[in-house]
Amino acid sequence: MREACCEALADCQADASCLACVSGEDGEACESNPDTHARVDAYLECKGAACQEACIGGPVGSCEDALAELGQDACTTCLGTNCCDEIAGCHANTVCWTGCFTVHDDAVCHSDPDGHALYHALSACASQSCQAECF
């Protein structure tokens, strides 16, 4: 984490609200102010993507199984093409898949630091690669 996400990690560690959010201690702290929210996003996106294997473990399961649960549309096709690793990682974590992605319950999503990070990585990929198809 320190090597791949050094700046995001340092910025979050310097912000008590960011630390409370990403540790799952206080979900309300995640959006306590715009600067903290930006730090949370940067930290979680890095943890759930660049540092996923080292910090959380690699994806378990398949992207195809996860996408089959969503049904076929332009968004699902785009996610499968561009965000397959992020989909597989999120699907392997119940909090990410159900609490954050398919049902989206903020309290549940914020309660699990790994699931929350995987969701942020998936959201970042979707917004960067599938904006027109998914949003």
CA-wise closest residue to 80 among 92, 68, 94, 96: 68
The pLDDT value given to residue 2: 65
Do the beta carbons of residue 90 and residue 122 sit within 8 Å?
A: yes
The pLDDT value given to residue 6: 84
CA distance linking residue 95 with residue 50, whole number of Å: 20
* CA 66 to chain centroid: 15
| Amino acid letter for position 92 | A
The parts of the chain modelled with pLDDT lower than 50 are none
The pLDDT value given to residue 53: 86
Query: Would you call 2 helix, strand, or coil by DSSP?
Result: coil
Q: Work out whether the CA dihedral 10, 120, 49, 78 comes out positive or negative.
A: negative
